[in-house]
Amino acid sequence: MKILIVEDEASLQELMTLALKKEGYVVENASDYDTAIEKLSVYSYDCVLLDIMLPGGSGLDILGYVKKLRSKVNVLIISAKDSIDDKVKGLELGADDYLAKPFHLAELVARIRSVVRRSRNDGEFAYRLGNVVLEPDSNRLIVDGKDVPLLKKEFDILAYFMQRPGHLVDKTVLAEAVWGDHVDQADNFQFVYAQVKNLRRKLEDAGADIGIKSVYGFGYKLV
């Protein structure tokens, strides 16, 4: 899962980033209004942690922008402004939850999981296709009732595809979603090819009903 932290307090941003990376999330940061808008315009995220008071503009305006994009990204407002008015306005604009500063990092992680769980798979945070079950909370891949061990990036790649069955996925978009925003500066995508190749082999060996098909000149598709 990929998360954007929109927070101008450097120390808090760093603590949140370290905690979420420890949980296995891909994390990007924006410290002001303009950077947040730019990232949201270019990149895709599963969840945005959004401060209200930002240099250059309001986090509530960013929330409005996200909703205009008709993006499915989950938004969790994080702000020291613990007023009822801000909370109500944020929720009315489409925020999924509100967490007031100061907060414990363990609660932040739990809120993120709860928000994402509610928005996917009818409240069950697991992806199911054919005889394949992928459980992000436990990092388990189960094929036909048997556990199949995956490396971290193999798991992230499969999770990305299982959220988009049948969709064409450009290799650049896949790399950016799994490795981070700046992967497009890489000279080649051999690391993507290698991980997808290994994942495809593991699915085939386990007798999975699904597979990752190469689409010449474009990327991949889960079939």
> How many whole angstroms separate alpha carbon 76 and alpha carbon 136?
19
> How many whole angstroms separate alpha carbon 142 and alpha carbon 134?
6
pTM attached to this predicted model: 0.67
> How many whole angstroms separate alpha carbon 49 and alpha carbon 97?
10
> How many whole angstroms separate alpha carbon 84 and alpha carbon 204?
53
Q: Report the phi/psi class of residue 100: left, alpha or beta, with left for phi > 0 and alpha for psi in -120 to 50.
A: beta
SS3 115: helix
Could you read off the pLDDT of 193-211 as tens digits, one per residue?
899 999 999 999 999 999 9
Share of the chain above pLDDT 90, in %: 40
Could you read off the pLDDT of 98-112 as tens digits, one per residue?
988 888 999 999 888
